[in-house]
Each structure stands twice: as C-alpha cells, then as structure tokens.
C-alpha cells in the first residue's frame, strides 16, 4: 500500500499580517500533524511552484504579468482584498504547484492532499476574495494538457460559491463544477456552476448532508470524471466569522467522509485542497482541516 503523503511548502503562508484570513494556518496545521504523531517529516512532500506555462493554461498573461511585476491597480487590490507582496505571489505559485502535485498523487494512489490551495474565487483576468490564482483550474488544465485525464469534477464545499472556478469552466463539457454554499453570502455575483446547491442561512448538519448527498449522486449519475478535486473549506462551521451556516465538527467530518468515500467507492481518485476557514478561534479551523486529513488517511488505508 502506498503511503499517505501530504503536499506542503512553507511558502504557502501569504504573510498577510493581522488579517481575517489566517494564512499561517498552513504551517500551524503542518506543525500540529507532526506534533500529534499523525504524520512524520517524510510524509510531507514539497511541490515545485507552478510554471508560467502552467498558470497560462487558466489565466490571462496580462494578469500573471501584473502579479509578477507588482503593477496591480487600486481596483485590483480592492477586489483581491489582501495586500500585495512578493511573498503573497510566491504563495499562490506554490499553492498551484501543490494542487498539481496532489492531483498527480491522487492518480497514483487514490488520494492526494494539498495542505493549502482551494483559491476558487480567482478568475482568468483578476483575483477576488483572497484568491489571486485559481490553483484548481490550473491543476485540471495541466493534467488535461499532459494527457493524464480528460474529465474532472470539482466538488466545492466551501461556504462561499466557487465563482472563479465556475466562470473558468463555463461551457467546458470536460469539467463538471458542483458548488454547495450559503446563498446569501459572498460573492454577490455567482456565475452558474454545472450544479449549484444554494443553502439558506443557518443550515445545519442534517440538511447540509442530505442536500450534498443528493446533488453529488445526481452529478455522478450524469458525469463520469477521472478525477475529483474536493474543495474542503472549513468555513461552513457554525462559528466561522465569514460564514453563516451551522455545521459542527462532526457534521464537517461526515461531509468529508461522504465526498471522499463516494468517489473512492466508484474508483475515482480524489485530490483535496483546503480553501477557506475563518473561525473565531483559529484552533477550530486547524482542527477541521486536521479532521479532513484524518478521514482521508483512514479511507486511503481501508482496502
């Protein structure tokens, strides 16, 4: 049996300072997984940063050039909602490379886990909502370009609609995008995914899991992917500062199990990316992400 490997780079930290997005969570999660004995140092594998050729598969050259040169406009920064820095750009390049590697590991060994990524609000020509590069789209396009896959499904369980991902793959029959999210929340404009599951404010574990299971099974009945990318946002949690749903730790863990087991039971590899998480206590966000890793490892080690 192949080992459960986690893709991680210390460059994942966007160095945002005092910001609602705790981008140090990646290193904190890495340290917790080591400290608790969940993983050993050799279980972590560092990705190569995404290349320019990788990024241009999903993004416009002008946007990439702006990020590289630091020539973003005031409007660009307003939409991005995070400060510009060289470390921020390096973090997005690293995260995209990490998601590519997690996808390749998934194709090799059923599951790949990126301790980062999930920046689903980035569009081809601009960034939004803390997301400058859409690592999900970059990874899918790279694997398609390499001939590793033809068809992919994105199962986006962040509390916010995956607007950038939906926009990038609009009209592309080779990629199915599913987004389950709080409807009355960011972003205000929600380009249609292949399947959108709009949830009312305050929805808790039972309704969330029921709606997700029904939608996910319906998606898999009509579309047969060779890879699933699971966007495992921690922000449907009931104490998330930027969310308004009511999921508990247990409900989020059941969500992880549902998404992963459903795909693996159909012999579909899954790559996991972390996406959002803004709990009042950052320890809660780390716990949710650690629980996702635990479910993934358990299922990978189950014959």
How would you write the pLDDT of the chain (303 residues) with one tens digit per residue?
A: 678 999 999 999 999 988 999 999 999 999 999 999 999 999 999 999 999 999 999 999 999 999 999 999 999 999 999 999 999 999 999 999 999 999 999 999 999 999 999 999 999 999 999 999 999 999 999 999 999 999 999 999 999 999 999 999 999 999 999 999 999 999 999 999 999 999 999 999 999 999 999 999 999 999 999 999 999 999 999 999 999 999 999 999 999 999 999 999 999 999 999 999 999 999 999 999 999 999 999 999 887
What's 52's domain CATH number?
3.40.800.20
Residue 252: inside a domain: yes
For 252-288, give one letter per residue: b (16+ CB within 10 A) or e: bbbbbbbbbebbbeeebbbbbbbbbbbbeeeebbbbb
> How many CB atoms sit inside 10 A of residue 226's CB?
17
Half-sphere exposure of 18 (CA within 13 A, CB side): 0
Is residue 135 in a domain? Answer: yes
Q: How many CA atoms lie within 13 A of 29 on its CB side?
A: 32
Q: Which two tokens stand for residue 134?
A: 């859409």
Sign of CA dihedral 65, 277, 233, 178: negative
Run of H or E including 198: strand 195-199
Residue 183, judged by CB atoms within 10 A of its CB (0-12, 13-18, 19+), counts as: middle
Would residue 198 count as lying in a domain? yes
Q: Which domain holds residue 138?
A: 6-300
Q: How far is CA 165 from the centre of its chain?
A: 11
For the purposes of burial, counting CB atoms within 10 Å of the CB of 65, is it exposed (0-12), middle (13-18) or buried (19 or more)? exposed
Q: Which residues are within 8 A (CB) of 47 and not within 5 positions of it... i.e. 6 or more apart?
A: 7, 9, 94, 97, 98, 100, 101
Structural domain total, the chain: 1
Q: Is the residue at 1 inside a domain?
A: no
């Amino acid at each position: 049996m192949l080992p459960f490997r986690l893709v991680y780079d210390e460059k994942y930290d966007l160095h945002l300072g005092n910001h609602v997005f705790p981008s140090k969570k990646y290193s904190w999660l890495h340290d917790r997984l080591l400290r608790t004995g969940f993983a050993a140092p050799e279980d972590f594998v560092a990705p190569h940063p995404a290349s320019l050729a990788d990024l241009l598969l999903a993004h416009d050259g002008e946007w990439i050039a702006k990020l590289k040169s630091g020539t973003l406009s005031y409007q660009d920064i307003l939409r991005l909602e995070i400060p510009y820095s060289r470390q921020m750009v390096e973090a997005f390049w690293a995260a995209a490379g990490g998601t590519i590697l997690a996808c390749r590991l998934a194709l090799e060994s059923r599951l790949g886990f990126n301790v980062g990524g999930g920046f689903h609000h980035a569009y081809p020509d601009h960034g939004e909502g803390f997301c400058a590069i859409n690592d999900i789209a970059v990874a899918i396009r790279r694997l398609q370009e390499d001939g590793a896959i033809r068809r992919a499904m994105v199962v986006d369980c962040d509390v916010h609609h995956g607007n950038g991902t939906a926009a990038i793959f609009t009209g592309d029959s080779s990629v199915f995008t599913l987004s389950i999210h709080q409807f009355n929340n960011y972003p205000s404009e929600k380009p249609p995914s292949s399947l959108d599951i709009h949830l009312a404010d305050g929805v808790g574990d039972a309704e969330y899991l029921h709606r997700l299971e029904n939608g996910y099974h319906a998606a898999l009945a009509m579309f047969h992917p060779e890879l699933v990318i699971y966007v495992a946002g921690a922000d449907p949690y009931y104490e998330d500062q930027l969310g308004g749903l009511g999921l508990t730790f247990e409900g989020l863990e059941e969500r992880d199990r549902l998404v992963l087991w459903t795909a693996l039971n159909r012999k579909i590899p899954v790559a996991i990316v972390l996406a959002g998480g803004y709990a009042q206590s950052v320890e809660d966000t780390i716990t949710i992400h650690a629980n996702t890793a635990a479910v993934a490892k358990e299922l990978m080690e189950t014959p």
